[in-house]
């Protein structure tokens, strides 16, 4: 007789040998890089510039709306596709900022964060034999879900210092098996914001290969002096594009896990079918509150971008003073540095030591890559700057001592 069934070691994407397991000493560690670095920051008392979450809550009126919704009894399952007022607010928001007008009844669903929107749409659209194309570095859940789906993950590199794709390499990465091209713009972890010509090229190549575009635009409002262009607004894109966003980034409520996706009815219906069996529905009282948030005036949206830009500059100054090469981001709340001026060639190892060395935690960029990309990015580290100014200033002071402590 055999004993009870044992879990297979490692995540599926680890078995697929992506870079996502670089910090797993035995290849079987079941936590993400974000969880691992946050745990390390907590155990060492380090300032956590690793996992990207703000250290201040979002607007008080949104919090009060959630509290009021709970008090009023909005505490049971929401409809699977989300409460109508939120779907309406998402549609109005897209009309207001981008001139898009998805139908709240058939072309929008609310999800449990962007993470679930990514999972539901990929699991709905791809399987073994299909290829999903992403840029590299790529957000960690992409590799995980593509692995779970059984599809093959193909990448096109984004190269430092500006992390723009080589368009010929992008074209070469498409194949007759490309079923989905998964874009992330503004881009985590690099902070790149893609210009119109790059996005238009993605659309043309997707059209040529009859691929669906899934576009993760969770940082849509976090750009610094450059315009965010939603893929769905480009010629030829709307009929083949699923757009994903999240309240976590825009409103600083990452713990509420309210996200959404929108696009043509047949694609949204496919994702909704899968979503039913992932979470069925998403936090009811938070949905009402985010509906209110989406209607906040323009000053709110410009205010968050201006504040983050200032924080980016404060942290960047500190990182430069520490002798690191700063790769200035145009969007998101992440800044990457090249540590090679300090003689460092392995940012994964440095990230593990950094909290004990100087009391700051960061994320090594190679973990967002497959093997070749990990090699290309092996001296890069990502710092989050969605923190209060005094925290960033203290982090900069601590990092200034790095050279002496290495
Ligand atoms: N996509 C990207 C590019 C992200 O950076 C994140 C998280 N920060 C997510 C998706 C996940 O968003 P959520 O927390 O809404 O699930
Ligand atoms: N998106 C956040 C980041 O890139 C982390 C979210 C998570 O922990 N899954 O830091």
Q: What is the pLDDT of residues 349-378, one digit of tens each?
A: 999 999 999 999 999 999 999 999 999 999
Looking at the fold, whether 310 and 206 belong to one and the same domain comes out as no
| 177-236 tens-digit pLDDT | 999 999 999 999 999 999 999 999 999 999 999 999 999 999 999 999 999 999 999 999
What was the pLDDT predicted at 298?
98
Residues 6+ apart with CB under 8 A from 87: 81, 104, 105, 108, 109, 110, 260
In a domain, 128, yes or no: yes
Average pLDDT over residues 142-171: 96
Whether pLDDT at 82 is above 70: yes
Residue that terminates a domain, selected from 293, 328, 360: 293
User: Do 254 and 107 fall into the same domain?
Assistant: yes
42 alpha-carbon distance from chain centroid = 23
Residue 17 pLDDT: 39
Determine, yes or no, domain membership for 18.
no
In whole angstroms, what is the distance from residue 206 CA to residue 40 CA? 41
Q: What is the pLDDT of residue 30?
A: 64
Question: Where is the domain boundary, 278, 293, 308?
Answer: 293
User: How far is 160 from 376, CA to CA, in rounded Å?
Assistant: 9
**Shortest-distance ligand to the CA of residue 257:** 1
Last residue within a domain, chosen from 261, 293, 325: 293
- Domain membership of residue 64 (yes or no) is no
For residues 256 and 303, state if they share a domain: no
The more confident residue out of 156 and 21 is 156
* pLDDT, position 32: 80
Task: Give the 3-state DSSP-derived string for 152-190, with helices as H, strands as E and coil as C.
Answer: EEEEEEEECCCCEECHHHHHHHCCCCEEEEEEECCCCCC
Residues 391 and 348 in one domain: yes
Choosing from 51, 216, 249 the residue with most ligand 2 atoms within 8 A of its CB, the one to mutate for a pocket test is 51
- Ligand closest to the CA atom of residue 382: 2
What does DSSP assign to residue 194?
-
Q: Is residue 10 part of a domain?
A: no
Q: Which domain holds residue 338?
A: 32-57+299-405
68 within a domain of the structure (yes/no): no
| Residue 265 sits in the same domain as residue 133 | yes
Regarding the beta carbon of 52 and ligand 1, being less than 6 Å apart is answered yes
Q: Residue 380: pLDDT above 50?
A: yes
329 in any annotated domain: yes
The CATH number for 391's domain is 3.90.1150.10
Q: Are residues 266 and 389 in the same domain?
A: no
Residues with CB under 6 A from ligand 2: 32, 34, 51-52, 188
Instruction: Judge if 175 and 279 occupy the same domain.
Output: yes
Average pLDDT over residues 33-57: 95
Pairing, β 178-184 against β 380-384? unpaired
Say if residue 317 is in the same domain as residue 355.
yes
Structural domain tally of the chain? 2
Domain-embedded: residue 26: no
Q: What is the DSSP string of 247-289?
A: HHHHHT-GGG-EEEEE--HHHHHHHHHHHHHHTSS--HHHHHH
The per-residue pLDDT of the chain, averaged, comes to 93
Q: Is residue 65 part of a domain?
A: no
User: If you measure from the C-alpha of residue 115 to the centroid of ligand 1, how many angstroms do you get, rounded to a whole number?
Assistant: 6
pLDDT for 52: 95
CA dist., res. 111 & res. 99, Å (int): 23
pLDDT digits (tens, 9 = 90+) for 167-183: 999 999 999 999 999 99
Query: Is the pLDDT confidence value at 13 over 70?
Result: no
Percent of the chain with pLDDT over 70: 93
* 286 and 211 together in one domain: yes
Comparing 192 with 24, the larger pLDDT belongs to 192
According to DSSP, the residues that pair with 383 across neighbouring strands are 335
Give the ligand at the shortest distance from the Cα of 251: 1
- The 10s digit of each residue's pLDDT in 321-348 is 999 999 999 999 999 999 999 999 999 9
Cβ 112 under 6 angstroms from ligand 1: no
Residues 49 and 198 in one domain: no
Q: Does residue 25 register a pLDDT over 50?
A: no
pLDDT bucket at 5, cuts 50 / 70 / 90: low
| Residue 154: φ, ψ to 5° | -110, 145
Q: How far is the CA of 139 from the centre of ligand 1 (A)?
A: 8
311 and 285 both lie in a single domain: no
Q: What is the pLDDT of residue 4?
A: 56
Per-residue pLDDT at 6: 53
Q: Tell me the average pLDDT across 26-32.
A: 57
Output the domain CATH number for residue 212: 3.40.640.10
Same domain, 263 and 310: no
Check pLDDT > 90 for residue 286: yes
């Amino acid at each position: 007789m055999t004993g009870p069934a044992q879990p297979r070691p490692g995540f599926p994407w680890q078995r697929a040998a992506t870079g996502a397991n670089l910090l797993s000493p035995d290849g079987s560690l079941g936590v993400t890089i974000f969880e691992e670095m946050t745990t390390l920051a907590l155990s060492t008392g380090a300032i956590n510039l690793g996992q990207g979450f703000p250290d201040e809550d979002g607007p008080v009126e949104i919090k009060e709306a959630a509290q009021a919704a709970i008090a009023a009894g909005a505490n049971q399952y929401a409809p699977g596709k989300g409460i109508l007022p939120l779907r309406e607010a998402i549609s109005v928001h897209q009309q207001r900022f981008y001139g898009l007008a998805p139908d709240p009844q058939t072309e929008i669903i609310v999800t449990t964060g962007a993470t679930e929107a990514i999972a539901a749409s990929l699991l709905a659209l791809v399987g073994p034999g299909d290829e999903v194309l992403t840029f590299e570095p790529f957000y960690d859940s992409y590799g995980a879900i593509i692995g779970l789906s059984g599809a093959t993950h193909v990448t096109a590199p984004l190269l430092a210092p500006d992390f723009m794709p080589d368009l010929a390499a992008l074209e070469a990465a498409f194949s007759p098996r490309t079923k989905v091209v998964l874009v992330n713009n503004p881009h985590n972890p690099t902070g790149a914001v893609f210009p119109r010509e790059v996005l238009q090229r993605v659309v043309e190549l997707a059209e040529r290969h009859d691929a669906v575009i899934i576009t993760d635009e969770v940082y849509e409002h976090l750009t610094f002096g450059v315009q965010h262009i939603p893929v769905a607004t480009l010629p030829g894109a709307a009929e083949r594009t699923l757009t994903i966003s999240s309240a976590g980034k825009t409103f600083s409520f990452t713990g509420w896990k309210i996200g959404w996706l929108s696009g043509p009815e047949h694609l949204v219906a496919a994702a909704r079918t899968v979503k039913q069996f992932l979470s069925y529905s998403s936090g009811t009282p938070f949905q009402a509150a985010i509906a209110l948030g989406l209607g906040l005036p323009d000053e709110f949206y410009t205010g968050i971008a201006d504040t983050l830009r200032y924080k980016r500059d404060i942290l960047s100054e500190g990182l430069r003073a520490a002798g690191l090469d700063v790769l200035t981001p145009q969007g998101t709340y992440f800044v990457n540095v090249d540590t090679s001026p300090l003689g460092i060639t392995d940012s994964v190892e440095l990230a593990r030591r950094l909290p004990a060395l100087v009391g700051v935690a960061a994320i090594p960029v190679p973990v967002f890559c497959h093997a070749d990309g990990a090699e290309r990015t092996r001296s890069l580290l990502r710092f989050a700057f969605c923190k209060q100014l005094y925290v960033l200033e203290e982090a900069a002071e601590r990092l200034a001592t790095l050279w002496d402590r290495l």
